[in-house]
Structure formats: structure tokens, C-alpha cells
Amino acid sequence: MTKSKIVIVGAGFGGIAAAKRLAGCGAEVTLIDRRNYHLFQPLLYQVATADLSPADVAWPIRSLFTNDRNIAVALAEVTGVDRSSREVITGDRRYPYDFLILASGSSNFYFGHPEWEAHAPGLKRIIDATEIRKRILLAFERAELEEDAAERRRLLNFAVVGGGPTGVEMAGAIAELARVALARDFRRIDPKAARIVLVEASDRLLAGFAPELADYARRCLEKLGVEIALGQPVRAVEPSGVRIGETWLPTATVIWAAGVKVDGPGAWLGVETDRGGRLSVGPDLSLPGHSEIFVIGDAAKVVWEGERLVPGLAPAAKQEGRYVAEVILARLENRKPPLAFRYRHAGNLATIGRSAAIVDFGQWRLKGAPAWWFWGLVHIYFLINTRAATLVLLQWFWAYLTRKKGARLITGSRPLIIGRNAESREETP
């Protein structure tokens, strides 16, 4: 008898959790991702703000499965799924499957304006984070050399679009970069004069948190000097600035933390999706009519507590990954399948700068320094690789003591030509 074949597409939190649960089982598992690393996305913004290095928040996928001999990793980009022959297609190669888990995640959504992306990178991949880091640092470098006062002010304006946890964390971290780490490193400009504007279309920050905690976060951000523009959608993003409601903010640096969409699975399978690209799934997270295909993580539309959807958080993806692995194992071993998937919401966390954070566990809420320490411990705990956890801890501790930022490197493949007329070359990659 040949072994059953399980293909997992995507090595994010969901795909890794599923593969880990299937390690050592009788089936042959192939984990396909277009990158060679698993990314610890909750800390990616710290790469963008020069606190951490890419290797601190990402690990080679292979190294997570060195000793799991039934798990093979393939670095390849999925281009389609042949449902009738049961094969995943990657360019000119096909991976047959008996069970398929689609865990391919999401990308940034620009509300129907894909042309904004070039001027407003989001925070999904390592290359996004290093690009944002480069833009932020270059803005200060250019301002230092700029003779024109208006242009200098424009270079020192920073816009963060989106008032969820990522936007709040980015805005706080940029404010600290400008006001603390860079404060004494320039001779002609004062980095403390930088304006950081956090833009949110709805009328409050951090919709997932209790109003009292969101309010506390707003006050912390304002204390750091972040300006908050609520109830104002972004209407235009251009190389020279951003239109917020009716107001024009001249800026060279816009960071997108406003929305995500799902790209792959709907097109690969040729099935209908909702507006965000998500697929409807049955109670066991399988595709209706295809009990051998499962969709998890950001790509799956899973209802929770009546009308809400399961949020796009790491714990949700992990729970779904482990659950579908259990369903598959039960079928392989002719056991009774587990009951319908039920999401257990642990809580929401967000940090604002160096020593404030908010923790919302429903009944149990924390803010301020205790929340910050809790936030740090939780993240260290979930950094699955011991080496990375040690290094991240050490870098945080060092940064805490010295208030320096170690990873302030402007890297990239394009040559760096700085001058008053070089802007357009730099801004449109």
C-alpha cells in the first residue's frame, strides 16, 4: 500500500502547526512555500523600526523539521490546484495529494488602489520591513542635507495608515526612533521635530480592544508625540504626500497597516470568495463538496460567536492548523473525527513604545508597564526557536538600557544617489 500524501501550502503559523501535528504520522507530508523562512509576523514591525534584524524574526522552514523525516519542504510558488486529478501545481511541477491544506495567508489590501502600494509599503514580508526601515532612515538622512525648509519639513513627516495593533505599534516605534534613538545623531536637523500622523478611517483606534484600553493607548501615543487623525479615510497616496479626508499631508514616508486581502486559494481552486478573497468552509474547515481540501488561517471565513469572523491572528491560525491535522489523522486511522472546529479566543495584545502596552483578555485587562512586561513575555514564549528568543531578549534588553537601535541599516540593491533631484528615482522602485 502506498502512503497517503498530504500537501500543505504556506508555512505561516497555520501551516507550521498542521505540519508539526502530522510529524511522525504514516503519511508523506509536503510543505510548500514560496519563501524559505517562517516569519514571526507579530514582531516584523520591529525590523521596520530598526530594533531587530530579519534573522531574529524568521527561521528557515527546513530547520523546523530537521528531525521530522516524513515532512518534506519545497521552495516553490503555487500557481493552481487541479481538483479532479488532486494535484497542486507549481509552475511545471505537480504535487499529488490525498489531503490538501491551504494556509497561504493574506497580502496588503489598498481598497481598490493597487497603485498606492509603491508609495505605501505594508508589513507582510521581510523585504517590506527592510524597505520601510530604509525609507524611514533615508527620510532623516535626506532632511539633514536638504536646503529647502518646506521640503525638509515634508521629509520629517511620517504617515501610518490604519489604527489596528500594527499601525499603533508602528507609530509608537517611529516616534521613539525619532525622539530617542536618533535624537543626537544629526547636526542640522532635530529628529525630535518629526511629525508622526496615525490615520484611522473609523472613529476609534484598536477596534478589537475594550474602549477604555484603546483610549489609554491613544493617550500613550499622544504622549510620545504621535498625532492621531480619526474618522478620516485616506483618499490619495502619492509620491509627494497623502490626502487624509480633506487634508493634504506632504510626506515622503507612508506606511500601510490598513487592510489585508487573500489572493491565492479562490483563483487556484476556481471557487467563489467573499470580497476579501476568503473562502467559505464547512464546520470541519473543509471546502464544501471537497472533504479532502481544507482552508485555514487568513484564507478561511470561519464564523465565531454568531456573526463575528475568527480574527486573523496567529493563535487562530495555529488552532485551525492543529484541528485540520486532527481531522486528517482521524480519517487516515479510521477514527471518529473531532467535533466541529471551535475557536478559543485568548485575547488581544498591543504595545506602544518602550514601556506601555495593553492586554485585553475579556474579563482580565492590563495596561501600562505590567502589560508591557506581559506582552514581552508572551512574545518571547512564542518565539519558537530558542536561539532567536535569546537574541531578541538580549537586543531588547540592550536597547532598553542604552536606548540605541542596532539594526539601523539602509540596505538594498539600488545604488544610493542622494541629492535634491534624486527623490523620484528612490521613490518609485
Q: What is the H or E stretch that residue 377 is in?
A: helix 368-382
HSE-up (13 A, CA, CB side) for residue 118: 10
Q: Which is nearer to a second copy, 34 or 153 (CB)?
A: 34
Q: What is the H or E stretch that residue 6 is in?
A: strand 5-9
Cα–Cα nearest to 406, from 392, 416, 390, 418:
392
Q: Which is nearer to a second copy, 177 or 313 (CB)?
A: 177
Helices (H), 207-290: 211-223, 264-269
| Least spacing, CB of residue 68 vs a second copy, in Å | 10
User: Looking at 169, 200, 326, 426, which residue is catalytic?
Assistant: 169
| Least spacing, CB of residue 421 vs a second copy, in Å | 7
Q: Which is nearer to a second copy, 12 or 167 (CB)?
A: 12
Contact 128, 109 (CB under 8 A): no
Q: Which residues bind a second copy (CB under 8 A)?
A: 34-37, 53-56, 58-60, 62-63, 65-67, 69, 72-77, 90-93, 126-127, 130, 137-138, 141, 144-145, 182, 184-188, 385, 387-388, 390-391, 394-395, 398, 402, 404, 406-413, 415-422, 429
| Least spacing, CB of residue 392 vs a second copy, in Å | 11
Cell of 235: 483618499
| Least spacing, CB of residue 399 vs a second copy, in Å | 9
Break the chain down into helix, strand, coil percent, rounded to 5. 35, 25, 40
Cα–Cα nearest to 84, from 258, 269, 224, 218:
269
169 labelled catalytic? yes
| Least spacing, CB of residue 158 vs a second copy, in Å | 18
Q: Which is nearer to a second copy, 361 or 397 (CB)?
A: 397
Q: Which is nearer to a second copy, 59 or 294 (CB)?
A: 59
| Least spacing, CB of residue 83 vs a second copy, in Å | 22
Cα–Cα nearest to 170, from 236, 60, 253:
253
SS3 190: coil
Cell of 243: 490626502
Reported in sequence order, the residue ranges of 270-429 that DSSP labels E, i.e. its strands, are: 279-280, 286-287, 290-295, 300-301, 303-304, 308-309, 348-352, 356-361, 364-367
Q: Which is nearer to a second copy, 276 or 406 (CB)?
A: 406
| Burial of 114 per CB tally in 10 Å (0-12, 13-18, 19+) | exposed
| Least spacing, CB of residue 123 vs a second copy, in Å | 15
Cell of 362: 475579556
HSE-up (13 A, CA, CB side) for residue 132: 30
Q: Which is nearer to a second copy, 67 or 334 (CB)?
A: 67
Contact 54, 36 (CB under 8 A): no
Give the distance, in angstroms, between the CA of residue 75 and the centroid of all CA atoms in the same chain: 20
Cα–Cα nearest to 129, from 54, 38, 33:
54
| Least spacing, CB of residue 258 vs a second copy, in Å | 23
| Cβ partners under 8 Å of residue 352, min gap 6 | 168, 169, 172, 217, 220, 221, 224, 358
Sign of CA dihedral 81, 87, 89, 95: positive
Q: Would you please indicate which residues are annotated as catalytic (active-site) residues?
A: 169
